[in-house]
Amino acid sequence: MNRTWSLALRRAALIAAIFALWELVTGGFGLDLVLTSPAILARPSSAIAELGPYAASGQLGRDLSTTLIEAMVGLVLGILGGAALGLTLGYWRRASELIEPVLVSLNSLPRIAVAPILLPWLGLGIASKIALSFFTVFFVVFFNTYLGVRSVEPELVKAVQVMGGDRMHLARFVVLPSVFTWIFAALRTSVSFALTGAVVGEFVGASAGLGYRLNIAAGLLDTKRVYLILLILMVFAVTLVEIAKRVEARLLRWRPSAVLAG
């Protein structure tokens, strides 16, 4: 058997084993082996059974699309904003020297801590979640872009200059491709940051979304619902990161690592 397939099978078996063990210690398989209270640890089968009523109520679709839109809009805006500022400050040394302490201070702030102030500013709707998502993504992309501009290979710059290339040629052939590399290398991190921003934003105050529903279920001690939403979030995040990985491998296929992954 092919090595990749055998590994995939063994991984699937491990995940199945974890779920089986979990099912067992929460009284599953008709053995009544309950090691913890159901209010603390829900049985996986009963958590997944919650999917039916959750979907039937129409809330699941609404929550999923709300969280997805918040995370994606935040992601795109964060990448655009971070890249724009990173490029500007990467080139404009004077401005970067001036603004650096401000950015470092903002960056050192735990992103999530700003969530409560976003609420009165932007309301309970999706705007406040997009803002939090944007804020978390923005700095990752900004610092990567900034480093990307600063770490352009001097020899490549010289090679293009000697051939008679002007600033436009340098940007097109050397600086932008080099910066894109850094931005896309941060894409995976950015995607999970964007999702975190959206979900945490919903915790603080919202009217829909997976984070909002999770928070309500936790308040009502509806453990089954809590575990169901956690599982949904996990699948959701894994899918998004997997898409980001593929996009990255495609766009950076000229890199040695991208070839190995592809």
Q: Do residues 241 and 191 touch, judged by C-beta distance below 8 A?
A: yes
First-last CA distance in the chain:
20
Alpha-carbon distance of 260 to 262, in angstroms, equals: 6
Q: Give the contact letters, 177-206, x = binds to another protein (CB under 8 A), - = no.
A: x---x-------------------------
- Exactly one of 159, 234, 243, 261 binds another protein (CB under 8 A); that residue is 159
CB of 181 to another protein, least distance (A): 8
Q: Is 150 a residue that touches another protein (CB under 8 A)?
A: no
Structure letter (DSSP) for residue 224: H
Q: Is 158 in the site for another protein (CB under 8 A)?
A: yes
For the bound state, the minimum distance from the C-beta of residue 142 to another protein, rounded and expressed in Å, comes to 22
Number of residues that bind another protein (CB under 8 A): 21
Piece of the chain touching another protein by CB under 8 A; list 115-123, 133-141, 149-157, 218-226: 149-157
Entry field: residues in the chain: 262
Q: Indicate which single residue of 174, 195, 200, 214 sits in contact with another protein (rule: CB under 8 A).
A: 174
- How near is the Cβ of 162 to another protein at its closest, in Å? 4
Beta carbon nearer to another protein, 110 or 164:
164
Q: Which residue has the tokens 């999530």?
A: 112
Q: Smallest distance from the beta carbon of 155 to another protein, in angstroms?
A: 5
Site for another protein in 214-253 (CB under 8 A): 253
**To the nearest whole angstrom, how small is the minimum distance from the Cβ of residue 173 to another protein?**
6
Contact 211, 194 (CB under 8 A): no
**In the chain, where do the E strands start and end?**
none
Residues 222-254 as b/e (b if ≥16 CB within 10 A, e otherwise) read: bbbbbbbbebbbeebbeebbeebeeebbeebee
Cα 45 to Cα 67: distance, rounded to the nearest angstrom: 25
- Site residues for another protein per CB under 8 A: 153, 155-156, 158-165, 169, 173-174, 177, 181, 253-256, 259
